[in-house]
Amino acid sequence: MERVLSAVMEAPAAAGGESLLGSIKIAVLPIAKVFTMCFLGFLMASKYVNILPANGRKLLNGLVFSLLLPCLIFSQLGQAVTLQKMLEWWFIPVNVVLGAISGSLIGFVIVTFVKPPYPYFKFSIIQIGIGNIGNVPLVLIAALCRDTSNPFGDTETCSTQGTAYISFGQWVGAIILYTYVFHMFAPPAEGTFDLEDVNLPLKNPPKDASPEQVPLLMQEAAVTDSDNSEKGKIKKFLVLVYEKLKLKQIFQPPIIASILAMVLGAVPVLKRLIFTTDAPLYFFTDSCIILGEAMIPCILLALGGNLVDGPGPGSSRIGLRTLVAIIIGRLCLVPPAGLGIVTLADKLGFLPANDKMFRFVLLLQHTMPTSVLSGAVANLRGCGKEAAAVLFWVHIFAVFSMAGWIILYLNILF
């Protein structure tokens, strides 16, 4: 009798321990794969090998962003999406917006207490509030689904669903980046983030600047514009709308691929023409699948190679205290808020029933490090060095934080 009772008592504990170890294995292995490929990229870019110099990494990043990533999004999202599913997935873009709002509020509270050096108040809020909802989640899902013991089903279904869910929210992220983030990264009143050069001629002088502060060429251009104000009003209005909405920046190749995939996948006739395996144009989709498979290793090699340059001079400008606050805020405080948002949405019935991958992707959107594309926007606004420093340190520590959060999410979902 005692043996039976002890066996009954020990069984749940053993099962729980085995479940925990399984969750740790499932969570850590994808991170280990990502770390290994990044290390190889770091090695290839080091001065001892030098196969991936700065120019080579720039070309590789361009290839990933302009071709490989759009191919992956188009093929995976197009195969998975239908009009009915798009209606069921409505909370994915909403989750991206809620993540940006909650992250920015958390960032505002943290930055108010930390008081970063001028003029990095709004900059610090964005570094905490805007996460990577595209590249890094795609990499993690791909690494996770390759393991046959993953809890989301067979490898192909896991990969297709995960990639489709992530891709479905990317267009919202692009709009947020090139509207809200672009506005928040506006240079200070001095016209530049590099205050040492404040006495130099201003590239973008304030609107209320006196005539002697405005370069001569800009004064001449203003006079010419006023002279021609009566001509081409419609054209000028359209140009103004185009520039204000940042349409050129918003409609990047990955966003165009997402929109095309959603339009073609939502129309049954077009879907049968392109995305089904027996379709007459399936050779195009299959070609995109082949190219898309190269995206993950290429982007990780480029990311690892970029770490060779280190954080650069931007760290000293931001300050250690602000940098630590950004890391803690983005990696430790934003994810619990995201967990609360997803849990509440689930309780209210906003999420598809019994779809674990859907919930996992929603949680990942709140858990990722600072958006890499926000660094591109920072370059446009003149604070690229500071953004590069933040991205360097946040991604270093994100290797550990993501593993911990993924373990927690898997134990909650399963």
Q: DSSP states of 320-332 as a string? A: HHHHHHHHHIIII
pLDDT at 113: 94
CATH number of the CATH domain containing 124: 1.20.1530.20
Q: Is 370 helix (H, G, I), strand (E, B) or coil?
A: strand
Domain-located, residue 303: yes
Greatest mean pLDDT among 31-35, 99-103, 294-298, 351-355: 99-103
Does residue 111 or residue 34 have the better pLDDT?
111
Q: Residue 125 pLDDT > 90, yes or no?
A: yes
Question: Structure pTM?
Answer: 0.76
Give 330's pLDDT tier (boundaries 50, 70, 90): very high
Domain-located, residue 229: no
Mean pLDDT of 344-354: 92
- Domain hosting 151: range is 19-187+244-413
pLDDT digits (tens, 9 = 90+) for 137-155: 888 888 888 877 788 888 8
- Enumerate the β-bridge partners of residue 131: 370
pLDDT at 328: 95
Domain-located, residue 377: yes
pLDDT at 129: 94
Provide the 10 A C-beta neighbour count for residue 176.
Answer: 22
Q: Residue 200 pLDDT > 80, yes or no?
A: no
Give 229's pLDDT tier (boundaries 50, 70, 90): low
Mean pLDDT of 294-311: 81
pLDDT at 14: 38
How distant is the alpha carbon of residue 344 from its chain centre? 23
Give 226's pLDDT tier (boundaries 50, 70, 90): very low
pLDDT at 3: 42
Q: Cα separations (Å) of 258 from 37, 105, 135, 288?
A: 27, 29, 14, 13
Domain-located, residue 235: no
> Quick check: bond before 151 cis, omega within 30?
no
**Is the Cβ–Cβ distance between 173 and 96 less than 8 Å?**
yes
Give 219's pLDDT tier (boundaries 50, 70, 90): very low
pLDDT at 322: 92
Q: Residue 198 pLDDT > 80, yes or no?
A: no
- Is residue 84 within a helix (H) or strand (E), and if so which, with residue range? helix 83-88
Q: What share of the chain is helix, strand, coil (3-state, %, to 5)?
A: 75, 0, 25
Does residue 296 or residue 44 have the better pLDDT?
44
Q: Residue 215 pLDDT > 60, yes or no?
A: no
Domain-located, residue 225: no
Angle, alpha carbons 78-133-288 (nearest 5°): 30
Domain-located, residue 182: yes
Q: Residue 260 pLDDT > 60, yes or no?
A: yes
Mean pLDDT of 313-337: 90
**Is the Cβ–Cβ distance between 183 and 154 less than 8 Å?**
no
Domain-located, residue 94: yes
- The least confident of 105-114, 171-180, 244-253, 289-298 is 244-253
Give 235's pLDDT tier (boundaries 50, 70, 90): confident
Considering its fold, how many domains does the chain have in total? 1
Domain-located, residue 233: no
